[in-house]
Amino acid sequence: MPERLITPGSSSTIETARGPHGVALLLFALVWLSCVWFGSNALNPNTATRLFAAIALVEHGDARIDRYQSLTIDKAQFGNGAARHYYMDKAPGMTVMAVPAVWAVNAVSGTRSQDEVIDIANPRLRAFLGVRLSLAVAGSAALLTAFAAVLLLDLGTGITGSPAAGLFAALGYALGSVAWGWSTTLFGHAPVAALLLIATWAIWRGTSGPRALGRWRYPVMAGLALGWAAAIEFQAALAGLAIGVWALWRTRRTAGPVRNRLYAAALLSASVALLPVLAYNEIAFGTPFVLGYQGVVGFQGMNEGLFGLTYPKPFALWEILFGLRRGLFWVAPVLLLGVVGLVRLIRTPATRDLGWLAVAVVTIALLVNASYHYWDGGASVGPRHAVPAIPFLALGLAPLWASLERRRARWAAIGVLALSSAINLIVVSTDIFAPEAMLTPVWTRNFSGMFLHGKLDTVLNLYAGWAPWFGFALYLDIAVPLLGLMLWQTRRAERRVRVQGSA
């Protein structure tokens, strides 16, 4: 049954539908499977440094990566001479999330890194790291992206009353953009994007009426999500601040005691989520108040401004959105439709505040990316630092879909989503780490150089010896029926909504 939703700043109410449970379960399975099915390079420097730190924590109880430091350029150095040690140069959130996977594989297999020759050409080392990476991704980035897709389904359904609109938005985010590819790695961009969306959903649902305002799970969920996003990438606190301000506005007319309890629960939860950062810093550096970024070696640009952040450069912003080498809309054209949808979201009084929040988060993510010295992200398909903007652009796909009355227009929108998904399937099945110098990496490397020649990375050909095309075909054999069943369930849900609306 629909829930009565109080429109912020008004005493009126509107009906808000829930994302269909059957569709949500199928969507979660499809997105999670799609992220874990394809592997990524465990010796990519950015991934490797996080994995090395997790291995050090599990095997030695410290965070030093001295034994592995020659295999990654992403590292921090502290001390000199005999007291010189190397550490991960990132925020510790993703490393902390990888620790359970490393511990589990070590425990089950009985193998440790000390049994391996630390050489980048050693295939045993690649397999050792790859298995741990795949399991870590399955329990972190893939899990968060799948969960966020389900919540976007619910959010899109709620603001439009259409399950199909919610599903269109969720698929555009999870499988129609580079959020998919970056959810196959141990990078922090996709998890941060998911956590920001999770916090937004929790605040939106948690302020939907008097009953919702009395439920502790919503402020706790929002606080944990925002706190953990900052633990993964420190700059996520900027978008988190915008979401926090939006939460204050949504609750501005709530009774004082209730409002204070909500704020206290959210702040306490966010503080708890940040404790692992302090614990990691204490283990690594002997104090909670030293960051790995302070010891970065080899990247002089990190000395500019605040760890490489200065001011937005117009050229970088253009390249992030439209440039052939990194342009977001080239690898996810469906998000252009999301921009149109956000305008519709803002024009509708009941969703205006949510639309402005989405614009604020997108703007913050893009400006932070354009302010960074290494804005292009090095080896990357698409602008990886702008990934946190993607779910908020995709949110606009829901009202866009709901506004399409002609069948021809809906088929055109489906075509754009299918094109975006095909592009990202090619990327995720080959290599999300495109070389820096390529002008058109998706076409030159991913499609022409790898996909057409069967140079694919599925978990079955990486770890079970399957032929690459067989692993790819089996994925389609599972994913296509899941998608078909999900569309059938969505169509049934749409019919129920129409019947309820006409009753």
Q: Which residue has the tokens 């960051």?
A: 291
- Kind and range of the H or E run holding 6: strand 3-6
Query: Cα–Cα distances in Å, from 3 out to 210, 215, 297, 466, 496?
Result: 11, 15, 54, 49, 15
Q: Which residue has the tokens 């639309």?
A: 355
Q: Is the full-model pTM beyond 0.85?
A: yes
pLDDT of residue 5: 40
Q: Environment class of residue 437 by beta-carbon count within 10 Å: exposed (0-12), middle (13-18) or buried (19+)? A: exposed
Q: Which amino acid is at 144?
A: L
Strand partners, 78: 85
Residue-by-residue pLDDT tens, the chain, 503 positions: 344 343 443 333 344 678 789 999 999 999 999 999 998 889 999 999 999 999 999 999 999 999 999 999 999 999 888 789 999 999 999 999 999 999 999 999 999 998 889 988 899 999 999 999 999 999 999 999 999 999 999 999 999 999 999 999 999 999 999 999 999 999 999 999 999 999 999 999 999 888 888 788 999 999 999 999 999 999 999 999 999 999 999 999 888 899 999 999 999 999 999 999 999 999 999 999 888 888 888 788 877 888 889 999 999 999 999 999 999 999 999 999 999 999 999 999 999 999 999 999 999 999 999 999 999 999 999 999 999 999 999 999 999 999 999 999 999 999 999 999 999 999 999 999 988 888 899 999 999 999 999 999 999 998 888 999 999 999 999 999 999 999 999 999 988 877 776 55
Backbone angles phi, psi at 405, to 5 degrees: -95, -30
* Cα 28 from Cα 201, distance rounded (Å): 16
Measured from the Cβ of residue 187, the count of other Cβ atoms closer than 10 Å reads 29
Q: Which amino acid is at 364?
A: I
pLDDT of residue 289: 87
Q: Tell whether the torsion through CA atoms of 237, 238, 241 and 243 is positive or negative.
A: negative
Q: Which amino acid is at 91?
A: A
- Sequence-distant contacts of 493-497: CB under 8 A, at least 24 apart: 493/20, 493/22, 493/23, 493/163, 494/162, 494/163, 494/164, 497/17, 497/161, 497/162, 497/163
Q: Which amino acid is at 222?
A: A
Q: Which amino acid is at 388?
A: P
Does residue 156 contact residue 18 with C-beta atoms inside 8 Å? no
pLDDT of residue 4: 38
